[in-house]
């Protein structure tokens, strides 16, 4: 009798702790999306620690209820071991200051959240996508407010700068092509909410729910179009074309039709595209200049193979980012060319392992029969493509996105709650 009572108490304790884990994870998602610079609440690290403390308590309370796939554990260990080795390599070969490797390492450690999600059977995609829809709605609200009341620009710009969430500016691409640049720093994540709600709209049965989900997907699409970023505008326009064939019988044929249709439609925008891709444009010019620097860096075979070390500073020809261009700050530890930086940090060997792990959820999703995972795989691939020219992938938001997709790949949504 006593054993039965103890068992019941243990189960209740495990259930309560799992709910605490969920609440902490949800709070962590909100902070990562709406306070990415941790300037408002300053609790990101504390929430991460609290998540792991609660998860370990839940695991010890009911070890028989916990489930941890070996493949997931191996992925997380590899993903965190490569940058650790890179840090050791830096101290063996240089060890000079300033150095940013330990600050960057925090982002890699956040991938361990995937373990917590799977162990506690937490499917965060619905909440993650809902939070992103709120972000999209906020972006649209800012855009409309600036259109209706331009005098709000300096006020909103100041608020955005203080929070680190929104950076407002006027951006010109030449030839009278101007944008109000509403740089919501976490808005590239909207590729995930587009994919999530697009799948729900296409897979649902009730007309009302399908319309609601289609509207939610449209909100994220509109928000990505309004931020003024070329990458995000391209993703917002292209994703529906690549997603709808997934829900047809002849996927390959219809994907080809979509690509052909896109090619025809783009003809009328050829002049605008030429302006946007002009090598003389500030952002494009910076990236092209950086390629010359990387050519010099990778001319050293040892650097090409093993890298300079995570967070190593370098004296760039240019600032590496348009927002640093006016300061003349050329001595910096990263640029917008994320994947070139990954090679500079860890060499071809380490970068190859990291890229293989990043692509694993996308490859797994594309090969799956579940349309949700296929759609999310395309959304994550879109995010990885945007990350190629934006240093956001190894931030807390980028690693949170990877953790959510990695957990979904290993079945966090397929097992019953404790």
| Position with higher pLDDT, 167 vs 85 | 85
CA 131 to chain centre: 14
Task: Write down the mean pLDDT value for the chain.
Answer: 86
- The full set of domain ranges for the chain reads 2-279+338-409
375 dihedral zone (left: phi>0; alpha: psi -120 to 50; beta)? alpha
Q: Cα separation of 28 and 383, whole Å?
A: 20
Q: Is 174 left (phi over 0), alpha (psi -120 to 50) or beta?
A: left
User: What residues are paired with 182 via a beta bridge?
Assistant: 168
Split at pLDDT 50, 70, 90, the class of 8 is very low
Compute, in degrees rounded to 10, the torsion defined by CA atoms 58, 83, 232, 33: 30
For residues 131-148, give the mean pLDDT. 94
Q: Give mean pLDDT, residues 235-257.
A: 89
How is residue 192 annotated by DSSP?
H
Does the structure show a pLDDT above 60 at 249?
Answer: yes
pLDDT higher than 60, residue 159: yes
Across the strands, what pairs with 181? 169
Q: Out of 163-177, 352-366, 401-415, pick the least confident.
A: 163-177
Q: How far apart are CA 79 and CA 105, in angstroms?
A: 11
- List, in sequence order, the alpha helices (H) in 204-229: 207-226
Residues 6 or more apart in contact with residue 97 via CB below 8 angstroms: none
Mind listing the pLDDT tens digit for each residue in 48-101?
999 999 999 888 887 777 788 999 999 999 999 999 999 999 999 988 999 999
Q: What is the DSSP string of 67-128?
A: ---HHHHHHHHHHHHHHHHHHHHHHHHT--SS--HHHHHHHHHGGGHHHHHHHTT---HHHH
Strands 331-332 and 166-172: unpaired
pLDDT at position 329, please? 66
The residue with tokens 């308590």 is 57
Amino acid 271: pLDDT: 67
Whether the per-residue pLDDT at 13 is higher than 70: the answer is no
How confident is the model at residue 251, as a pLDDT?
83
The Cα–Cα gap between 220 and 216 comes to 7
- So what's the pLDDT on residue 404? 96
pLDDT tens column, 318-372: 765 555 544 456 888 989 899 999 999 999 999 999 999 999 999 999 998 889 9
**Looking up tokens 């790949």, which residue turns up?**
409
| Helix, strand, or coil (residue 332) | strand
Asked whether 375 and 361 are in contact (CB, 8 A), the reply is no
The total of other beta-carbon atoms located within 10 Å of residue 126's CB is 11
The rounded distance, in Å, linking the Cα atoms of 228 and 236 is: 12
SS3 of 195, please?
helix
Amino acid 161: pLDDT? 83
- Who's near 250: CB < 8 A, 6+ residues apart? none
Predicted pLDDT at 58 = 85
With cut-offs at 50, 70 and 90, classify the pLDDT of residue 174.
low
183: which strand partners?
Answer: 167
**Choice among 3-7, 223-227, 270-274, 325-329 with the minimum mean pLDDT:** 3-7
The answer to whether the CB of 171 falls within 8 A of the CB of 116 is: no
- How much is the pLDDT for 175? 55
For 376, residues 6+ apart whose C-beta sits below 8 A from its C-beta are: 125, 192, 195, 196, 199, 365, 405, 408
Residue 168's pLDDT band (cuts 50, 70, 90):
confident
For residue 371, which of 177, 200, 255 has the smallest C-alpha distance? 200
Query: SS3 for 315?
Result: strand
What does the alpha-carbon distance between residue 186 and residue 140 come to, in Å, rounded to a whole number? 14
The pTM assigned to this predicted structure is 0.90
pLDDT tens track for 257-280: 888 887 787 776 676 666 666 776
């Amino acid at each position: 009798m006593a054993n039965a009572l103890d068992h019941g108490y243990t189960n209740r304790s495990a259930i309560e702790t799992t709910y605490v884990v969920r609440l902490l994870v949800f709070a962590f998602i909100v902070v990562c999306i709406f306070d990415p610079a941790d300037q408002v609440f300053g609790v990101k690290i504390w929430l991460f620690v609290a998540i792991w403390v609660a998860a370990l308590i839940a695991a010890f309370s009911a070890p028989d209820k916990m489930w941890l796939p070996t493949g997931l554990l191996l992925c997380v260990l590899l993903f965190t071991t490569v940058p650790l080795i890179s840090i050791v390599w830096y101290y063996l070969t240089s060890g000079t200051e300033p150095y940013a490797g330990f600050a960057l390492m925090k982002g890699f450690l956040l991938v361990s959240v995937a373990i917590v999600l799977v162990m506690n059977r937490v499917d965060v995609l619905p909440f993650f996508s809902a939070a992103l829809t709120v972000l999209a709605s906020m972006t649209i609200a800012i855009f409309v407010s600036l259109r209706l009341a331009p005098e709000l620009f300096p006020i909103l710009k100041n608020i955005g700068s203080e929070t680190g969430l929104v950076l407002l500016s006027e951006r010109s691409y030449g030839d009278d092509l101007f944008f109000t640049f509403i740089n919501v720093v976490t808005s590239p994540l909207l590729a995930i909410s587009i994919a999530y709600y697009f799948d729900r709209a296409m897979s649902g049965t009730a007309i009302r729910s399908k319309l609601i989900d289609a509207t939610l997907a449209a909100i994220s699409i509109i928000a990505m179009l309004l931020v003024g970023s070329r990458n995000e505008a391209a993703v917002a326009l292209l994703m529906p074309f690549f997603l709808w064939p997934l829900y047809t019988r002849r996927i390959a044929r219809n994907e080809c039709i979509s690509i052909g249709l896109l090619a025809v439609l783009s003809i009328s925008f050829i002049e605008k595209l030429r302006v946007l891709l002009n090598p003389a444009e500030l952002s494009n010019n910076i990236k092209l200049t950086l390629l010359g620097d990387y050519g010099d860096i990778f001319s050293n075979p040892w650097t090409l193979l093993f890298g300079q070390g995570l967070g190593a500073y370098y004296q760039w020809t240019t600032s590496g980012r348009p927002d640093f261009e006016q300061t003349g700050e050329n001595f910096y530890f990263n640029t917008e060319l994320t994947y070139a930086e990954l090679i500079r940090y860890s060499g071809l060997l380490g970068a190859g392992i990291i890229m293989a792990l990043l692509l694993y959820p996308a490859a797994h999703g594309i090969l799956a029969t579940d349309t949700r995972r296929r759609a999310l795989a395309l959304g994550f691939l879109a995010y990885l493509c945007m990350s190629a020219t934006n240093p956001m992938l190894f931030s807390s938001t980028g690693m949170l996105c990877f953790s959510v997709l990695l957990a979904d790949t290993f079945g966090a949504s397929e097992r019953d709650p404790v």
